[in-house]
């Protein structure tokens, strides 16, 4: 997992679930292998950013996955059509409870 994902996930969870949710997410994220940004990935991210009009974090994430033969799973709809991306929709909030995901390909 690119280290920029720590920022992306932390920001989203803090905004939506608060500090307790963020703490729980941190523990789960640190189970995986963290990949620092290095020159080769940065250069590839710049190419992808220009080619697909991606923001910084998305470009870095998209450049990192193939470099490490990793599958890229995302809930970002705008990345759904990119090569090598496995998209699954976000769960919907209904009456304070998480609704059913519209995809069955993700097992969390």
pLDDT tens readout for residues 19-76: 988 998 998 888 988 999 999 999 999 999 999 999 999 999 999 999 998 888 888 8
Distance CA 41, CA 87 (A): 22
**Same domain? 19 vs 57:** no
For residues 45 and 66, state if they share a domain.
yes
**Residues in CB range of 1: below 8 A, 6 or more apart:** 29, 32, 33, 34, 35
Residues 105 and 81 in one domain: yes
Q: Is the pLDDT of residue 102 over 70?
A: no
Same domain, 26 and 61: no
Mean pLDDT of 9-26: 90
Whether residue 78 is found in the same domain as residue 106 = yes
Task: Assess whether 47 and 30 both reside in one domain.
Answer: no
Question: What residue numbers bound the domain in which 92 lies?
Answer: 36-108
For residue 90, what pLDDT band results from cuts at 50, 70 and 90? Answer: confident
**Does one domain contain both 40 and 30?**
no
């Amino acid at each position: 997992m690119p280290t920029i994902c720590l920022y992306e996930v932390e920001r989203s969870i803090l905004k939506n679930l608060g500090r307790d949710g963020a703490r729980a997410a941190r523990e789960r994220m640190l189970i995986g292998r963290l990949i620092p940004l290095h020159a080769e990935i940065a250069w590839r991210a710049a190419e992808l950013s220009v080619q697909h009009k991606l923001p910084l974090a998305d470009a870095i994430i998209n450049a990192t996955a193939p470099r490490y033969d990793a599958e890229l799973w995302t809930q970002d709809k705008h990345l759904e059509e990119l090569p090598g991306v496995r998209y699954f929709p976000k769960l919907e909030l209904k009456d304070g409870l998480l609704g059913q995901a519209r995809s069955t390909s993700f097992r969390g």
